[in-house]
Chains A and B, each alone.
Chain A
């Protein structure tokens, strides 16, 4: 153990990790999907006959082929037709009203609504055979006009679902602001921002392997964030009792929010495994993922921000047109995360945010790292810089005048959040000090007087986000068992996709119990071993599952003391726990290790449900960027990120996530975006040569620092980590570029800030007073 910094490292560094695609299962079939190349159209014919003749192909089905089949072979399932895709109940990401009349078929039947939608499935003895078969499926689709942006779709001139509006959801946070507030304010700034569509792009695409077992049970292996949810949704779809399905999450190659649902392909694969009584797997490939996996962001925003002459904020209004893709099932309510967080870190008295979620002929939008909070932060922080410029105030000073004071927590925001704790000014001060703010401002001034120097800008972004989940989903389950051999088993409902749970959680339990770390083993991501759980999303694992394990450890100590008291015939108050042992307070006799106690009194095990409050991590990011107006290039010279996620369980791991997250934030600011043609087909023929993920070439010098303001929401005091960079970094970079170019119209700088965008902006009018 000592030569590995994390327990995961030994297997992951030696090629012995086990991801779903690595699993060898006898008789397993590979599934391949035949997908529509047309974004919107009527399915006329899906002819699978030729495909069925291909050697090695075991079966080919269109949606029509799969309806009206006799009930399936598998004893435990009551299954006939291919079930539709379920909708997300969690955190109001979708609603029954939004999906009513808008069924999402696992295989499209009559109509396709996005390019990449599956219309047939082929299973073969291996992937090559199945691909051979897929190439022989003849699909005839009559195109319909496609609507590709929310503004185009909102007019309902083309309907995705006949008789139903494309606007599938409306919501608001806060109270509408009277016009007089805007009329009477000393300064009002207005702007429009586009939060472009992004691909979460975990290195491992989606995976699922469904294995019908001899005893009638079904085992499902999947790289997934929420195994218990997947089990619940599959059980409902298949008509199987919950306890007949086991979902296991083995090593998972990243998720970033994108691996927590039961996707159409999952429904089809599991259905086929049960129908055929044979293991079936689907290992998504990258090009497939680039059309058919969920995307993140996708908002067109309009903002108004008002202040008095001293720069005190009076009102903030945010209107969101969200592009939720072709089906409302996964993320129609996701933009509410933006609305609820619209207040940001400021004590603005009036804040109102409204959401209109519009269906378009594109793949579905779903959480991607940050999930609604980057959109809130970017809109507000860009507007803060605009306002500072209008007021002639330093942007840092404008923020300081408006921060919610550290003594005002808990703070009820006008948009319905109750912030738990914070010290926003401290984070900003640390960020400015670390980057050397005054020095860079001096350099900026120097360059403005030097005609040969490239313009330089400094961008600030102060954020507050939310971690843990939404009411109804703020709990998780944890258990601790002490065994005779000295081993301590910790269980919880989380599921790691690269966040080092196997290292961090045993260390936490060991520290709480006072035992050596090597004695504690973690079990998670297996619904048989841990029957109840919520999973890992919304930056919740340390905050909620960490606190749940901390809580369960305390329960185990109480139980051990009671046991010892019974054993020794003394009152429990006279039994103490220290360093993994029980001992009598007054008796001088030796302490009894918990393993000895188990030997003497039988198994020692506790299980409980633990509920956290919401956490509100925060921070301040500052970027310095140099712009070449002739080439349109942006060079980030320095980035400082200061994050506060309360009590940190493992500083090296939190810092590592913060750094990686900042690089994803740079990706949104400068490089990434899904371009769609007018026909709704993504213009990404070159795969990852067209969709530009940051490589090491694009990583500037980044310094990660932290402040620590514990959360009162749990006794552990941890808040969520890991999403900070995606939330805080993009606005810092865009603000730096805007600051360098001094343009009057911020609408010209829409992400990603490609050379084309920047070159055009560099030629636009500068704001009054610019030099």
Chain B
């Protein structure tokens, strides 16, 4: 089936089997391997990407469902000049990653939420809720929560300026 995915602002005209999941098409057809597959049954969230701004498990979505839609992956987080996203800087500063395998999923969950509501940091419970949605085996989550709070606070202070 012929589809066009817009990934991180670039158009990818593709011919894909309808059964192929979005994660595989991103990784194999678009060669964007930053999106990782951790469980392939929608539990761990490592494969989370944004489709039209909404966080989705890309292992539970077919690529053909995304025809003509806008997909954002971890490769598209940094600014156009390569300047890291506040979340990327915050994750590093807070040691919110060790092996880094689950990290793209947490980043995209947080990026989607932060962009939908830049004031999310005002409600620590909501941030905690975001962290609860994915699995990490290295960090114990607390550094991830701190990193999202840190990035949220930074975004908030930028807005106030």
Contact = CB atoms under 8 A, between A and B. Distances in A.
Interface of A: 3-6, 8-9, 12-19, 21-22, 24, 126-128, 201-204, 251-254, 256, 285-287, 497-500, 652-653, 656-657, 659-664, 687-689, 693, 695-697, 699, 702
B36 A19 contact: yes
B37 A21 contact: yes
Interface residues of B, number: 56
Given A15-B34, A128-B20, A699-B142, A660 B84 contact: no
B137 A201 contact: yes
A653 B44 contact: no
A498 B37 contact: no
A24 B32 CA distance: 11
B140 A203 contact: no
Nearest to B131: A696
B92 A6 contact: yes
B73 interface: yes
Given A5-B92, A286-B39, A659 B17 contact: no
A715 to B, nearest CB: 28
Given A254-B137, A254-B138, A688-B39, A203 B99 contact: yes
B45 to A, nearest CB: 10
Q: Which 7 A-B pairs have the closest CB atoms?
A: A15-B34, A498-B99, A253-B101, A12-B100, A22-B33, A663-B140, A15-B74
Contacts of A699: 140-142
Interface in B26-43: 27-28, 31-41, 43
A428 B116 CA distance: 47
Nearest to B135: A693
Given A203-B44, A688-B44, A252 B140 contact: no
B53 interface: no
A659 B103 contact: no
B39 to A, nearest CB: 4
Contacts of B28: 126
Interface of B: 17, 19-20, 24, 27-28, 31-41, 43-44, 46, 73-75, 77-78, 84, 88-89, 91-93, 95, 97-104, 107, 128, 131-132, 134-145
Contacts of B73: 15
B142 A9 contact: no
Contact of B84 (A3, A5, A16, A285): A3
B99 A9 contact: no
Nearest to B28: A126
Contacts of A12: 97, 100, 103
A659 B140 contact: yes
B40 A13 contact: no
Given A204-B36, A656-B98, A657-B98, A287 B41 contact: yes
Contacts of A16: 34, 75
Contacts of B41: 286-287, 687-689
Nearest to A5: B92
Contacts of A695: 132, 134-135, 141
A3 B78 CA distance: 13
Contacts of A8: 100
A13 B97 contact: yes
Nearest to B145: A696
B25 to A, nearest CB: 11
A656 B36 CA distance: 22
A286 B40 CA distance: 7
A687 B38 CA distance: 12
B69 to A, nearest CB: 20
A287 B41 CA distance: 9
Contact of A17 (B27, B34, B93, B137): B34
Contacts of B101: 19, 202-204, 253-254, 498
A202 B92 contact: no
A697 B37 CA distance: 22
A702 B91 CA distance: 19
Nearest to A253: B101
Nearest to B19: A128
28 contacts: A13-B84, A14-B75, A14-B78, A15-B32, A15-B73, A15-B75, A15-B77, A19-B101, A126-B28, A128-B24, A203-B36, A203-B102, A204-B101, A254-B138, A286-B41, A498-B101, A500-B98, A656-B139, A660-B136, A660-B138, A660-B140, A688-B39, A688-B43, A688-B135, A695-B132, A696-B141, A696-B144, A699-B141
